[in-house]
């Protein structure tokens, strides 16, 4: 009887060891979840005209300005150091459809390297008389 109990006990210990080994192997073989890194975004509107904007390399710069649309005025990037700042996209959004509401123009840039640079945008007519209705000048300090 003692031998039968010993065999059952040894069998249970072996079964527990196999189960623990299986759990350990599965746990070690799983890859840890990778948390996606999303860059932070620096938001700028026309009230920041003439100011210094502090950014870090890799951060996004979101410049959102009123779309003057009426009379053929459009926002144009007039000064950018492409070694320090890359323009990623430009889009118009937010028009209510009401007369005179043309929404907003958004420009997205990525800071490529550290240093100081100037970013300028002008709202001007692309045809006929070359008048400017608004401008935005930002001094960027990129760490």
Q: In 3-state terms, what secondary structure has residue 95?
A: coil
Instruction: Encode the chain (143 residues) as per-residue pLDDT tens digits.
Output: 667 676 666 566 666 667 666 655 666 666 777 767 777 999 999 999 999 999 999 999 999 999 987 778 889 999 999 999 999 999 998 887 787 778 999 999 999 999 999 999 999 887 766 788 899 999 999 99
Give the neighbor-by-neighbor strand order of the sheet with 132-142. 52-55, 132-142, 115-125, 73-79
Query: CA neighbours within 13 Å on the CB side: how many for 113?
Result: 5
Domains in the chain, ordered, with CATH?
41-142 (2.60.40.2020)
């Amino acid at each position: 009887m003692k031998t039968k109990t010993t065999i059952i006990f040894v069998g249970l210990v072996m079964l527990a060891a196999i189960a623990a080994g299986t759990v350990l192997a599965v746990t070690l073989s799983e890859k840890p979840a990778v948390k996606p890194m999303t860059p932070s975004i620096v938001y700028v509107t026309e009230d920041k005209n003439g100011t210094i904007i502090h950014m870090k390399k890799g951060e996004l710069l979101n410049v959102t300005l009123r779309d003057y649309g009426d009379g053929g005025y459009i926002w144009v990037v007039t000064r950018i150091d492409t070694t320090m700042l890359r323009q990623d996209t430009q889009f118009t959004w937010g028009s209510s459809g009401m007369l005179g509401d043309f929404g907003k123009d958004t420009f997205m840039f990525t800071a490529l390297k550290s240093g100081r640079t100037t970013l300028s945008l002008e709202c001007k007519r692309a045809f006929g008389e070359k008048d400017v209705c608004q401008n935005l000048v930002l001094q960027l300090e990129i760490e």
